[in-house]
Structure 1
C-alpha cells in the first residue's frame, strides 16, 4: 500500500527505537499544526495516536513530513519580560511616596518610627498578588 503522505523524507536511522521524549515532541508539533489550522481534529487524533504507538524513527517521520519546518520565533521585548499592570505601577509609586513620608517623619522625630506604610501597601499588594495569580488584569 502506498504512503498517504507524499515525499516522506527518510529518517536518519529508521531502525532506531524512539522514547517518550521523541514521541511527545512529535505530538507537540502536531498540536501546533492543529492550532495553526494545518490539521483538522480528526487528522490530529490519528497522527497523535500513531505517534504514541511509534516504536522507531521510521514510524514518527511520516507523521510530520507534510508540515512546514518549525522555526522558533524570537520573543519580543514585550513578551520576553513580564509587564507591570497599571495597578502594580501605581503601587510602586505609592510605596515610594509613603516610604518617603515615613522617612521624613522618622528623621524629624530623631528616631526610627514604626513603618506604618506596611498596612496600606500590604493590603493593596495582596489584592494585586491575588489578581495576578488568578489571571485577572486591570
Structure 2
C-alpha cells in the first residue's frame, strides 16, 4: 500500500478551526487586513486537504505563547492590591492635609506609617509570591 502524502490527507473540522483561529489572531495583531482575513478564512473553511490549509498561515509568525492563567490571576491580584493601596493613601494624605490646615501648621506626616507597612506587604507579595491562591 502506498503511503499518503501528509498534505494530501483530508482536513478535519478541527484542522480548519485551528487555521481560522490563527487567522483571527493575525487579524487582531494587525498582520492581516480585513480583506485578506476574509479571503483566507473562506479558503480555510473550503479546504478539503491539510495541504490546502498550510499556505494560508505560512507567511504568519508563530503565535505568542499565552500567559498561563495562574500568572494572569496573580498579576491581576497584585494590580488590585496596589490600586487599593493608592486609594487609601490618597484618603490618608487628604486627612493629614485637612488636619494640618486646621491646626495652623504642618503636622508629623503620620500617613507614611500605614502607607509604608502596606507597601512593604505588597512588595513582599510581589517578591515571594505571598497570597498566591492554590
Alignment TM-score, normalising by the size of structure 2: 0.49
Higher helix share: 2
Structure with bigger RCO (C-alpha 8 Å, 6+ apart): 1
